[in-house]
């Protein structure tokens, strides 16, 4: 599979920090107690450039001063190369400084070149073996030409280490994002999450024209294939809106059409379009523009990432499909009960939505909020066992009929509790307890206060609120003022006081539910 990437930092602060770092010169630290060494080194190196960036020379005249310079450097912009004299304030000051950098500062990125005017005091083989340094030179060896050569080699090494480290961090973030698909994750958020990290893998310059767009072909018209943008990054597509069919720049649109028609990835100069398909028959295109053509390493990394991304994308699509089917099935079952009792099926949808609003306001976690929204529509499923003459009686029930009617709570529990599904087990509990009262006056067990599960207490209030505002075989719908008066009167009696306060606080939002799901 051909594939590709782009990366942006997690926050605006990180983006600015990365951009500034890429603009900064290469930092080179000179540590030596001889002023003439600093002057000569500056004379040779101050005009050096590497990969279009200048060299910034930092100076320290002792190991102690060097430690201060090192400590002042920001973590995202460490010193690239350090030329360190061995003998300064002590015979081993330079060697001790190397240990400090590697061990105490835990800095294994800065390239260290030891320089000594007395090579006999510290044999080369022993120093290279015992200390984490990258080169060891006698000062007499370092002519102008060799000093520059040593610096170029060290900067290349530093650059490659930073690139590998960026790839490592980027890989960790992407794999973590793929691995942590939660109940709150959707396809668009996953796409944005992954693409927001890919720029690190490609090492895209912030001042280059680049972007990443994952698109879904939609329909044919007289203009040819259209594409819907799912995620994007970079200035080139800043005007395009996500989740909409957009008019792409002509040269990009042409590449997309070519890639889509050929069912293959295309690289054209500094532009690359990856054609991506999965087992569900979905076809996506991913575009990247970099200041230079993608290398073989870039393409290989992209292949790995896209392969994992497609697997996660497919899994999430299937998860969404299962969750949607489960939600629809719950509503169908709930509506079947309502229809049999000559009531509208919209009631169960409204109870689910109102319960969700109250659960969020109550402070339940995201999982439990999602759970009550899915489970609460089944609160009256036990009514399937109630005879029609009792279920649809327009007048008051006698004592026997009341007993029959109240049995629906336990019947619903018995029907649903056999399931191992979290949503159906929750629905079983709600079915059993949603007619319990805060003061103990409810049924079937006469539970008091928080002996009843909070999800049952929430659903019980949502059910009464919506039922009072709905037409029933035994009554007309109540106006909202009368409903509020009754629920306020039952605060601390039928309903938990805190829940009543929350319902009144979020009353406008709750009233909107009836607008969204009318009878």
The 3-class secondary structure across 437-451, one letter per residue, is CCCCCCCCCCCCHHH
Q: Where does residue 105 rank: exposed (0-12), middle (13-18), buried (19+ CB within 10 A)?
A: middle
The CATH number of the structural domain formed by 24-166 is 3.40.50.2300
Looking at residue 7, its pLDDT comes to: 28
What tens digit of pLDDT does each residue of 2-28 get? 333 232 333 334 433 444 445 589 999
Which three-class secondary structure state does DSSP give residue 243?
Answer: coil
Q: Is 383 a catalytic residue?
A: yes
Looking at residue 24, its pLDDT comes to: 81
**Residue 228 burial (CB count, 10 A):** 16
- Mean pLDDT (the chain) is 79
Average pLDDT over residues 237-258: 79
User: CATH 3.30.450.40 spans which residues of the chain?
Assistant: 183-317
Does pLDDT of 116 surpass 60? Answer: yes
* Lowest-confidence region among 168-172, 288-292, 398-402: 168-172
Q: Which CATH architecture has domain 341-516?
A: Orthogonal Bundle (1.10)
Going by C-alpha positions, the residue among 294, 206, 287 that lies closest to residue 248 is 287
Whether the link from the prior residue into 117 is cis, omega within 30° of 0, is no
The class (CATH top level) of 183-317 is: alpha beta
Residue in the block written with tokens 């409204």 = 350
**Residue 387 burial (CB count, 10 A):** 11
User: CATH 3.40.50.2300 spans which residues of the chain?
Assistant: 24-166
Q: What's the distance, CA 456 to chain centroid?
A: 32
Q: How far apart are the first and last CA of the chain?
A: 51
β-pair type (271-277, 266-268): antiparallel
Does pLDDT of 119 surpass 60? Answer: no
Long-range contacts of residues 507-511, Cβ cutoff 8 Å, at least 24 apart: 509/357, 510/354, 510/357, 510/358, 510/465, 511/480
Distance CA 455, CA 376 (A): 8
Choosing from 27, 139, 373, 383, which is the catalytic residue?
383
Average pLDDT over residues 128-138: 82
Distance CA 479, CA 469 (A): 7
How sure is the predictor about 424, in pLDDT bands with cuts at 50, 70 and 90? confident
User: CATH 1.10.3210.10 spans which residues of the chain?
Assistant: 341-516
The answer to whether 347 and 338 are in contact (CB under 8 A) is yes
């Amino acid at each position: 599979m051909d594939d590709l990437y782009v990366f942006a930092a997690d926050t605006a602060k990180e983006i600015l920090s990365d951009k500034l770092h890429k603009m900064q010169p290469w930092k080179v630290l000179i540590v030596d107690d001889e002023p003439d060494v600093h002057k000569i080194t500056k004379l040779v190196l101050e005009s050096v450039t590497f990969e279009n960036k200048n060299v910034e020379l930092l100076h320290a005249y002792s190991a102690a001063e060097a430690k201060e310079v090192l400590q002042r450097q920001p973590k995202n912009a460490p010193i690239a190369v350090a030329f360190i004299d061995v003998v300064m304030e002590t015979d081993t000051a330079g060697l001790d400084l190397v240990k400090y950098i590697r061990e105490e500062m835990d800095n294994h990125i800065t390239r260290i070149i030891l320089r000594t005017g007395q090579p006999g005091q510290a044999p080369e083989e022993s120093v290279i073996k015992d200390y984490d340094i990258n080169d060891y030179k006698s000062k007499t060896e370092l002519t102008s030409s060799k000093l520059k050569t040593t610096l170029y080699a060290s900067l290349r090494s530093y650059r490659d280490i930073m690139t590998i480290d960026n790839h490592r961090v980027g890989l960790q973030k992407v794999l973590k994002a793929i691995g942590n698909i939660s109940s709150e994750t959707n396809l668009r958020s996953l796409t944005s999450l992954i693409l927001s990290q890919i720029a690190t893998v490609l090492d895209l310059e912030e001042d280059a024209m680049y972007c990443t767009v994952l698109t879904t072909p939609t329909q044919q018209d007289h203009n040819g294939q259209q594409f819907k943008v799912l995620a994007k990054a970079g200035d080139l597509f800043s005007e395009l809106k996500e989740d909409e069919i957009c008019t792409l720049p002509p040269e990009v649109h042409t590449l997309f059409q070519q890639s889509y028609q050929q069912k293959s990835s295309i690289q054209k100069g500094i532009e690359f379009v990856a054609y991506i398909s999965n087992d569900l028959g979905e076809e996506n295109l991913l575009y990247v523009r970099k200041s230079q053509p993608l290398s073989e390493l870039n393409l290989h990394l992209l292949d790995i990432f896209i392969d994992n991304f497609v697997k996660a994308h497919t899994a999430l699509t299937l998860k969404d499909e299962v969750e949607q089917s489960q939600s629809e099935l719950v509503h169908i079952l709930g509506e079947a009960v309502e229809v049999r009792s000559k009531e509208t099926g919209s009631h169960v949808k409204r109870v689910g939505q109102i319960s969700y609003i109250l659960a969020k306001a109550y402070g339940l976690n995201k999982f439990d909020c999602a759970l009550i929204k899915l489970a609460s529509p089944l609160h009256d499923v036990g009514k399937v066992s109630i005879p029609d003459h009792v279920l649809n009686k327009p007048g008051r029930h006698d004592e026997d009929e009341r007993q029959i009617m109240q049995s629906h709570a336990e019947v619903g529990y018995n029907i649903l509790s056999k399931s191992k599904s979290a949503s159906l087990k929750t629905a079983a509990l709600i079915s059993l307890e949603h007619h319990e009262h805060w003061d103990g006056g409810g049924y079937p067990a006469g539970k008091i206060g928080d002996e009843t599960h909070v999800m049952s207490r929430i659903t019980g209030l949502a059910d009464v609120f919506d039922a009072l505002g709905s037409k029933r075989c035994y009554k007309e719908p109540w106006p909202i003022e009368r409903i509020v008066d009754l629920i306020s009167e039952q605060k601390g009696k039928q309903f938990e006081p805190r829940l009543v306060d929350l319902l009144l606080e979020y009353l406008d939002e709750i009233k909107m539910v009836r607008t969204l799901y009318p009878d």
